[in-house]
Amino acid sequence: MDFYHLPLSAPCQSVRLVAKALGLHLNLKEVNLLAGEHLKPEFLKINPQHCIPTLVDNDFVLWESRAILTYLCEKYGKNDGLYPRDPKKRAVVNQRLYFDMGTLYGRFSAAYYPMMMDGKELNPELVAKLDEALEFLEGFLDKTPYVAGDKLTVADLAVLPSLTTIEVLASYDLSKFPNIQRWYGEVKQSVAGYQEICAEGAAEFKQAFMPGS
């Protein structure tokens, strides 16, 4: 499978974590967004929406990281461990994936991208919204050991790169969130590829957009 990505991108990292967990090989193809490679005709032919991550599995092309995560589990998972089939368990996993996209990472990018990309001042109201998103995550992890239940699922592997990016880029102090700290400490150790995929990717993101900070 060809996988169009950038190492510093959290949504791209989540797909690589899930592929690793499933024992799948991804043929990594870097798309340099800063050089506009995603807008070149050859990439637009693959993905007219010109975003990464993009997966090409023979004649099947898919983008949107969380859609890719669940596709890989359904198509290639040897069991339903990472993406449970039980409708209620699966619904909670899906809910957390949408939370990750629309609320957690969404609020991080709303608060921090203007500063990182355009040198604007941080808006305290937007930072407070991100704080609220982390409080929601803290609440989920108060009820269950993992993001969407008693076991590790794709929801953990989506939230993990988001949280790493938030912690590293925003120099976020997580000490006021004990449940997040407990979960984060555990998955950083136990998830295969965390260091090379997420930790190094987030460091590269910071180096590219906030050098010297």
Binding site for ligand GSH (CB under 6 A): 9, 11, 33, 38, 50-53, 64-65, 101
Q: Alpha-carbon Rg of the chain, whole angstroms?
A: 17
CB of 208 to ligand GSH, least distance (A): 12
CB of 11 to ligand GSH, least distance (A): 3
- CA gap 51, 167 in Å, rounded: 24
The catalytic residue among 9, 14, 65, 162 is 9
- CA gap 209, 196 in Å, rounded: 19
Q: Which two tokens stand for residue 212?
A: 């010297």
Smallest CA-to-CA distance from 5 within 13, 75, 160, 198 is with 13
Task: Note if 9 is an active site residue.
Answer: yes
The smaller minimum CB distance to ligand GSH, of residues 84 and 100, is found at 100
CB of 146 to ligand GSH, least distance (A): 20
- Number of residues that this document lists for the chain: 213
The smaller minimum CB distance to ligand GSH, of residues 50 and 129, is found at 50
The amino acid at 24: L
CB of 37 to ligand GSH, least distance (A): 10
Q: Which two tokens stand for residue 109?
A: 């990018």
What are the residues facing 48 on neighbouring strands? none
The smaller minimum CB distance to ligand GSH, of residues 13 and 137, is found at 13
The smaller minimum CB distance to ligand GSH, of residues 31 and 177, is found at 31
Q: Which residues are catalytic?
A: 9
